Structure 1
Amino acid sequence: MFRRFTASVVLLWAFGFLWFAVSLPGPLPASVKTDAIIVLTGSQGRIEHAVKVLEAGKAPDMLVSGVDREVRPREFAHQFRVPARLMRCCVTLGYRAYDTRSNAVEAVQWVTEHNAKSVRLVTADWHMRRAALEIAREFPDDVRLELDGVPSHPSLSTLFLEYHKLLARAALNLWEALR
């Protein structure tokens, strides 16, 4: 009995990891518009993608969550080639977040202040599921979250670590819901 249970758990874990690794969330269709963009700092391509979406008029405002406290708006604009007009009107640099959990807290405060009802979440494809889980947990029920995964080529170790972080967060959410 114990062997069957253990084998079932291992099989479930293995199929879950396989699903996680081969079906990473991709980019949103170009036609999708939202009230706001939230981009999480981290791997290459995230901010560049979000800036293109903003420039294309697919959302009027953007929060960059998790910016290092030493980065100034002018430096940010230069590094990511953000036009000055967009920096002035439409880009908020969020300095409070330091991990995915605090990204969610920072994001919900910003979304509430901006009265956004639809949000495009931009992060790396391998990070999207956990980021969306964290953020959706914090967001009010009337805010629609659209997932815009930035394609990447994560290593097996990155996928392995992120899969286990996702499982841990999902288990913690379940535990909190059952209490």
Structure 2
Amino acid sequence: MILRLFSFVALLYALGFALFSVTLGEPAREDAPETAAIVVLTGGKGRIEQAVDRLAAGKAERLLIAGADPVVTEADLVERLGGKDELIACCVDLGSESVDTRSNAEEAHRWIEKHGYRELRLVTSDWHMRRAAYEFRREMGDEVDIIFDAVPTRPGLFTLFGEYNKYVLRRIGVLMGV
């Protein structure tokens, strides 16, 4: 009986991983509505660039870079992005209060409330989008409409496996009240 239960759980886990791996987040459609804000989560290649491109294209009024290292400055961003100093000076906020996906959502929620926004575009890597979406929905509930705008990547097996485990463990932790 225990072996059957263990086998069932292992099969369920493996099928979940397979499904997770083939249903990664996707970029928002071109015709997706504009939002008041963009929140980008640091930690992956191309995330900040995509968020700034969306801001420059008029997809939102303001951008929060959540989880930025406290030593990063606007001048560092201008240098990294090859200009865009006016856009960064007027419309980009650096958030350095968060250290993980859950605290990214908390930091973004405080920022959203401070500015009175009711919709946002969330930018992160495709392999990270499911967990980020889960945390943002938990934190903001129905009070904020979210458009998910994933940065396409080519994640390796190790990246997918690690992210899947974080996602599963977080879901279990929430169910257990942790």
TM over 0.5: yes
- 2:123 is the counterpart of 1:87: no
- Runs (5+) with no aligned partner, structure 2: none
- Report whether the alignment pairs 1:24 with 2:27: no
Secondary structure of 1:12 counterpart: helix
- Deviations along 1:38-58, one digit per CA (max 9) or x if unpaired, are 000111110111111101101
Shift of 1:139: 1.1
Counterpart AA for 2:63: M
Give the drift of 1:143: 0.5
Aligned letter for 1:56? A
Query: In the TM superposition, what is the alpha-carbon distance from 1:154 to its structure 2 partner?
Result: 1.0
CA gap 1:49/1:15 in 2 versus in 1, 3 angstroms: same
SS of match in other structure, 2:77: helix
Q: Which residue pairs with 1:69 in the alignment?
A: 70
Unaligned ranges ≥5, structure 1: none
Task: Tell me the equivalent position of 1:124.
Answer: 125
- What are the Cα deviations for residues 11-55 of structure 1, in whole angstroms up to 9, with x where unaligned? 110110001111101100122211110000111110111111101
- Supply the RMSD in Å over aligned alpha carbons: 1.4
Task: Report the secondary structure of 2:60's partner residue.
Answer: coil
Structure 1: which 4+ aligned runs deviate by more than 4 Å? none
User: How does the TM-score come out when normalised to structure 2?
Assistant: 0.94
Question: 2:4 is matched with which residue?
Answer: 4
- Report percent identity of matched pairs: 45
Count the aligned residue pairs.
177
Q: Distance in 1 between matches of 2:59 and 2:138?
A: 24
Equivalent-residue separation in structure 2 for 1:2 and 1:99 (angstroms): 36
